[in-house]
Amino acid sequence: MKITSFCIALSQWLSLFIFLLFARFYEMTDDLWRQAFYVSSVCAIVITAFLLYKKIIIDRLRFGINFFLITGAFAFLIESESILRLFNMYKGVVFFGGIAIVGIITTFFSPLGFLGVSVSNKHALKNKSLVLLGVTIIALMWSFFMNDYGTILSIVIPFVGLRLLRKSLSDSLMTAR
């Protein structure tokens, strides 16, 4: 069962991995950005559909990344210059915006909250989901202000912080059972 869980968790990273492969191994022209968003968003949709079909809990932060990728693909598909310009100018803001949208929806409308865990103490789950949502919004603002300082500082470090916080909040809920 552990190998299955590992494979499911790993599969949720596949769409981002594919997107990053494009960025790493190709000189990113507008056409390649379009392809990167198209391919990674198709992957995101297929994996999400499979996980929903199997009734597997989707990691909310990764789902936010998939939302970002699908939104980018949609912007290319409808050729929305304003959205594409926003993606180009503020990658991190849009990235964390996708996660924040998923956070808002799941915090207020999902029984598993933004943390995506099943616990009996729904009040604690809501509070910890709100903490993660608040920190996600702080990460979005951080990304805006750090936009000119590179991807590591504006996206990677705040995202790693979100992952660590999510893990810590989830673990604290699970041990409090």
177 residues of the chain, pLDDT tens digit each: 577 888 888 888 999 999 988 877 777 677 788 899 999 999 999 999 999 999 999 999 999 999 999 999 999 999 999 999 999 899 999 999 999 999 999 999 999 999 999 999 999 999 999 999 999 999 999 999 999 998 899 999 999 999 999 999 999 998 865
pTM: 0.91
pLDDT for res 1: 52
The pLDDT of residue 177 is 58
Give the separation between CA 86 and CA 133, rounded to whole angstroms: 22
Q: What is the pLDDT of residue 100?
A: 98
Of 168, 96, 164, 160, residue with least CA distance to 133: 96
**Residue type (1 letter), 154:** S
Which residues 6+ apart lie within 8 Å of 94 measured at CB? 68, 71, 72, 86, 87
Cα→Cα distances 72→25, 42, 58, 95, 105, Å: 20, 12, 20, 10, 20
- Rounded CA-CA distance 1/55 in Å is 16
Question: What tokens does 36 get?
Answer: 């990167």
Within 10 Å of residue 68's Cβ, how many Cβ atoms? 27
Q: Look at the block and give the residue holding tokens 């995506």.
A: 116
Q: What's the rounded Cα separation, in Å, for the pair 133 and 37?
A: 25
C-alpha 84 chain-centroid distance = 19
pLDDT of res. 117: 94
In the chain, domain spans: 90-177
**Per-residue confidence (pLDDT) for residue 132, from 0 to 100:** 98
Longest dimension (CA), the chain: 51
H or E segment to which residue 131 belongs: helix 122-145
